[in-house]
Structure 1
Amino acid sequence: MSAASTPLRVLTGSILAVLLLTGCQAIEDGSRVISRADLVNDLASRLDRATELTYSAEYQLTGGESASIAQTQEPLQAAYSYPGGKLTVSAEATTECQTAGPKPSCILDAPPAQTNRPSVTVFTNANKRGLVTPPVVIGLLTAAALDPNADIEQTDTTIAGRHATCVRVAGVDDAPTSQFNACVTAEGVLGQFTGTLDGNAVEMALSRYRNTVDGSVFELPSGATVIDQRPGTK
């Protein structure tokens, strides 16, 4: 896993420090006025806190398909399932599976330096197939916060029965997408995302949240061909 992966707490602190030095742009939502730094720092902190939770979240994707994110703390592991594929991250391996076709296949690679904070590069296939993960959203928020020309609006809503804070971002120059909408629940779970990543239009919304996890989500697909590419394995 790339050594470039940065813990979200450090990243969030860096965003805040830069913005406080360069000045903050006020964002008005009804009668409230908050700074860009406050907004980004709050959402980043919520997403970061979610890495310390045990939960499972189901999402409705464009076209009626579905995806899910699940993680536990003991043992520390996470699973991301999306149309045609699955990614699991644990202290033992980063495993990416292709589930489309007559026979699934999986590739085991080295685990990330921090199991609950893998590099965003491992989520490339998930992005292409409609599942945008919290680390990817953190990167987009970072780019928006550091762009003085970005237009950021805040709203509040309820998604799957849970309160969420949303941002609508537009006009970001140096980012994978110039505009997107993202919502984060009070627990810190990604509630909604709309945007374009890797040339694909993505629209996903939380449909169910639970603070329990079915252990089977971490298992490899039945009958999968497994290729182990971890260092020291044959």
Structure 2
Amino acid sequence: MPAPSRLTRTLLLCAAAGTLIAGAGCQTLDDAGQVIGRADLVNDLAARLDHSGELTYAADYQLAGAATATIARTPQPPRSAYIYPGGRVIVTDEGTTECRGAGTGSTCTVTPPPSPGARPPATVFADAAQQGLVTPTVVIGLLTAAALDADAIIKQHDTTIAGRHATCVQVQQVKNAAASSFDACITTDGVLGSFAGVVGGKHVDIAMSRYRESVDAAAFEPPGDARIVDRRAGAAR
């Protein structure tokens, strides 16, 4: 079977993006080669970042204000953890765990896992966003919005982040997106390298400082001294 054309790939992404971007209309991208080329760039970066869920890795990030955060993932079993100042979110096929607070005062709430193939709702990461951590899912949505907006201004450059090559885009004037302007860098293997922009009214500025191809199993566990509230059906109260 022949590989899909650039236009076909873009239109498929356009159809899929309806779940990510409310109210964003799809463009007929064969009207201008320049639009196709620009869309290809951000589409490829979004697809690359989406595939990071197939990797085993832990990435440490420097946040604005000298704070730090970590994103960890494994494909088998499928698990992801987002650890940030004052909290963490853990997503496994057994449940989604949201932890708030530090030390003996922390509380972790466990809810049912996302449906197979689905992502957790954005509300799960609301606290992480307020603490300055943007997740790959959010960046995928922003890149998709830029690909669909023919008036968006997109510039590309390459760099090295934490010793890993990355492709970067500077995006401006995007409509119907959580951020109208942002800079994002994605490594060759699909990991979020850096992001800077205002998302939902919050200034976000993160940069990867360390990358590891192994993950400590403790990353996917609540803190040992946390109070656990299990809201899954059938859970003991």
Tell me the equivalent position of 2:192: 190
Tell me the equivalent position of 1:36: 38
- For residues 51-72 of structure 1, the C-alpha deviation after alignment (integer angstroms, 9 at most, x for no partner) is 1011100000111110000011
- Equivalence map 1:1-234=2 (5 Å): 13-15=12-14, 18=26, 21=29, 23-24=31-32, 26=34, 35-100=37-102, 103-114=105-116, 117-233=119-235, 234=237
Unaligned runs of 5+ in 1: 1-9, 28-33
Unaligned runs of 5+ in 2: 1-8, 17-25
| AA aligned opposite 2:151 | N
Contact persistence 1:91–1:115 (CA under 8 A): no
- For residues 88-146 of structure 1, the C-alpha deviation after alignment (integer angstroms, 9 at most, x for no partner) is 00001000000247511011011011378433332221111111111100111111121
Tell me the equivalent position of 1:3: none
Tell me the equivalent position of 1:31: none
* 1:23–1:126 distance in 2 versus 1, CA, 3 Å: farther
Tell me the equivalent position of 2:22: none
TM-score (ref. length: structure 2): 0.84
| Root mean square deviation, CA, Å | 2.3
Contact persistence 2:27–2:150 (CA under 8 A): no
* 1:169–1:67 distance in 2 versus 1, CA, 3 Å: same
Distance 1:122 1:166 in 2: 27
TM-score (ref. length: structure 1): 0.85
